Chains A and B, each alone.
Chain A
Amino acid sequence: MSTDTTTEEATSGFNIQPMKQFEIHPLFGDGAIHWYTPTNAALWMGLAVFCAYLLLVVGSRGRAMVPSRSQSVAEMTYGFVRKMIEDITGKEGLKYFPHIMTAFLFILFANLLGLLPYSFSTTSQIAVTGVLAMTVFLTVTILGFVINGPGFIKLFWVSSAPLALRPVLFLIELISYFVRPVSHSIRLGGNLMAGHAVVKVFAGFAGALGIGAIIPITAIVAVYGLELLVAFIQAYVFTILTVVYLKDALHPAH
């Protein structure tokens, strides 16, 4: 958003800038952003990692047989992800548990931290979700070739079709293989961004309405509840799709 429109809206008294919360700015000073500049996005991503550390390392520090509250939350999270992998891929998928657990916890905590007032929701940036999806995509593709050898390419070679059609179908299958990770990263980012923008728009109404603000404030409470649900569901959806790809790599035959 350019500075012209910002001042214009500020003078008109009706000040709604739902997309301003997604702007990335440096933590210190106002200079240009280089790849090494510490920004608000970097800060909140670091905080998400730190929260995962708090839950898993500090939370389960007691190592009690009868777990404390925080330890049992950590254990339940672990068991939840583990069971999800085991249900979908079977025992041989459990080797890749660390990657999936890491992605799940990072997305979950980034989503939840984004719900705090004045925070920055890192998972609303396509750049972040895109990289997450790309790690999954690269892992699964490389793994597929390592485990199955060049035979992994058979995943795209539809042998049940007539021979003349197979090259065309090969291209189609190849493109659709690339569509899925892009679609997931856009979905995760879009869901988060839409929800936060909606909250911001309602908040803008509340500022302009005076005593009638009770209606948008009620709406914000409702949308916030929905956002809490979305934060969990999106983390879950992203993880479960990762596991489904993993299954494709382990057993490429449909």
Chain B
Amino acid sequence: MTDTPDPEKLEVLDQRIKAAKAAIAPAPIRESKYEKVSLAWRMVLELVIGMAMGMGIGFGLDSLIGTLPIFLILFSLLGFAAGIRVMMRTAEEVQRQKVARVAKNETAQKGQK
């Protein structure tokens, strides 16, 4: 009888531990289909609302002052730009979240090893 443990048995035990750890490891966080659809809706809505708001402001100013097409045209352009601005900000935010998620998944995988 020896004090040193059997290396083969240790190897088998190692593999069993690894398998057990893999089984309980959290699945990597991924975007669901629902999230993607709602993101698309969000961006489209922001674009449209920006435009509509600009036109509303322009039309309101025009009917107050009585210079009908000028402010309408001006503010619908501004509104369009604002819509794009909000949309791009949303995209930026989503991108940041994605990067954070990837980083989190990687650290989780490293933690396993």
Residues of chain A whose beta carbon lies under 8 Å from any beta carbon of chain B: 168, 171-176, 178-180, 182-183, 186-187, 190-191, 226, 229-230, 233, 237
Q: Chain A contacts of B83 at CB under 8 A?
A: 176, 179
Q: Chain A contacts of B42 at CB under 8 A?
A: 183, 187
Q: Chain A contacts of B85 at CB under 8 A?
A: 172-173, 176
The answer to whether A179 touches B50, judged by C-beta atoms less than 8 angstroms apart, is yes
The answer to whether A229 touches B46, judged by C-beta atoms less than 8 angstroms apart, is no
The answer to whether A179 touches B49, judged by C-beta atoms less than 8 angstroms apart, is yes
The answer to whether A233 touches B45, judged by C-beta atoms less than 8 angstroms apart, is no
The answer to whether B46 touches A233, judged by C-beta atoms less than 8 angstroms apart, is no
The answer to whether B78 touches A171, judged by C-beta atoms less than 8 angstroms apart, is yes
Given contacts A186-B45, A187-B41, A187-B45, contact A179 B82 (CB under 8 A): yes
The answer to whether B49 touches A172, judged by C-beta atoms less than 8 angstroms apart, is no
Residue of B whose beta carbon sits closest to that of A254: B89
Supplied contacts A176-B89, A179-B53, A183-B49, 13 more A-B pairs, CB within 8 Å: A172-B81, A172-B82, A175-B53, A175-B54, A175-B79, A176-B50, A179-B46, A179-B83, A180-B86, A182-B53, A186-B45, A190-B41, A226-B34
Q: Chain B contacts of A237 at CB under 8 A?
A: 38
A103 to B45, CA, bound (A): 22
Listed residue (A172, A174, A226) with the most chain B CB atoms within 10 angstroms of its CB: A172
The answer to whether A173 touches B49, judged by C-beta atoms less than 8 angstroms apart, is no
**For window 3-52 of chain B, which residues contact chain A by CB distance below 8 Å?**
34, 38, 41-42, 45-46, 49-50
A100 to B41, CA, bound (A): 24
Q: Chain A contacts of B34 at CB under 8 A?
A: 226, 229-230, 233
Q: Contact string, B85-108, partner A, CB cutoff 8 A, digits 1/0?
A: 110010000000000000000000
Q: List 7 A-B contacts (CB under 8 A).
A: A175-B57, A176-B50, A176-B82, A176-B86, A179-B53, A183-B42, A183-B46
Residue of A whose beta carbon sits closest to that of B85: A176
6 closest A-B pairs by beta carbon, nearest first, are A175-B82, A176-B82, A176-B86, A176-B85, A179-B50, A172-B82
A172 to B45, CA, bound (A): 17
Q: Chain B contacts of A226 at CB under 8 A?
A: 34
Residue of B whose beta carbon sits closest to that of A171: B78
